[in-house]
């Protein structure tokens, strides 16, 4: 008899109850106190890099941002805390890990705002060209229809607006997909996880009238580093050690500080990374 799957909320609560999974819960921002998780995400290297990619600054807060597949609202809180008008969209009404949890965060916002909408990405309840930015953190691979969901994100985005999808799971083939799902703890408990080949993401983005500005691999940006505690400094140390073997410690320490050298080695690491479910991020502009 097939074992009954838990709801996403039940699966997350089970994870929290396991002492050996406390670190994973923290790194995934799945704390029972989602305000604490949101504040931690706001100060993270990941969000700092998101701000840079989207070219956001505090002098221009008159932007409308859609946070699609927002989960417990950590990114919505981070954007709103910087003064932006944020629309948090997720199909899960859970008071713990869904739109219900975001209500607690919206009450803590000062300058910006969070409007909460329960909806699926494939049928967004917004007019065409509503948003300046559409942001999706590890959400595309959860869409029931990748092309339709991305098409909807593009539809509600203004011409010239930016679309940023981060931490999307990538696989090379069906065998890698099976391996990824087999070892994903939440998928074992809840189901609902997925991953696509890189070409599938790129094709779906292009078909949605989105021009890809950056396709960032597993080690190209701190946004994708997995597990989450792998910081920029740790990656630079890896790269420095690799250079030391070739040119010596003194010269390696000098060269690794040059951005073009660091980017080159990050790109090499990304190209050689073949982990099932490795993470990619995509920055696009609507044509």
Provide the pLDDT for residue 1: 40
Q: What is the pTM of this model?
A: 0.95
Provide the pLDDT for residue 58: 77
Phi, psi of 123 (to 5 degrees): -145, 70
Provide the pLDDT for residue 91: 97
- Classify residue 53 by burial, with Cβ atoms within 10 Å: 0-12, 13-18, 19+: middle
Residue 53 to residue 117: CA distance in whole angstroms: 26
35-65: pLDDT as tens digits? 999 999 999 999 999 999 999 987 778 899 9
Residues 6+ apart with CB under 8 A from 247: 255
Provide the pLDDT for residue 242: 86
> Cα(first)–Cα(last) distance of the chain, in Å?
51
The DSSP line for 29-50 is T--SSHHHHHHHHHTSHHHHHH
The ranges of the chain with pLDDT < 50 are 1
Provide the pLDDT for residue 229: 65
């Amino acid at each position: 008899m097939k074992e009954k799957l838990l709801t996403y909320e039940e699966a997350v609560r089970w994870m929290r109850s396991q002492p050996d999974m406390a670190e994973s819960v923290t790194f995934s921002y799945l704390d029972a106190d989602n305000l604490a998780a949101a504040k931690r995400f706001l100060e993270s290297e990941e969000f700092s890099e998101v701000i840079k990619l989207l070219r956001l600054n505090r002098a221009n807060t008159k932007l409308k941002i859609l946070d699609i597949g927002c989960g417990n609202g950590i990114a919505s809180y981070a954007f709103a805390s910087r003064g932006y008008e944020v629309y948090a969209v997720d199909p899960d009404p859970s008071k713990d890990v869904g739109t219900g949890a975001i209500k607690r965060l919206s009450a803590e916002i000062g300058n910006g705002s969070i409007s909460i909408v329960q909806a699926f990405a494939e049928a967004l309840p917004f007019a065409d060209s509503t948003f300046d930015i559409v942001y999706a953190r590890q959400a595309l691979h959860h869409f029931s229809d990748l092309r339709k969901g991305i098409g909807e994100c593009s539809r509600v985005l203004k011409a010239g607006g930016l679309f940023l999808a981060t931490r999307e799971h990538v696989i090379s083939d069906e065998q890698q997909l099976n391996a990824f799902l087999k070892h994903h703890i939440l998928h074992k408990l809840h189901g609902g996880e997925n991953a696509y080949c890189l070409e599938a993401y790129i094709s779906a983005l292009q078909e949605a009238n989105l021009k890809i500005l950056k396709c960032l691999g597993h080690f190209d940006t701190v946004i994708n580093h997995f597990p989450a505690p792998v910081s920029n400094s740790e990656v630079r140390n890896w790269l420095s050690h690799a250079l030391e073997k070739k040119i010596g410690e003194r010269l390696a320490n000098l060269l690794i500080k040059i951005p073009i050298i660091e980017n080159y080695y990050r790109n090499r690491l990304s190209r050689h990374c073949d982990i099932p479910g490795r993470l990619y991020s995509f920055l696009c502009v609507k044509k």
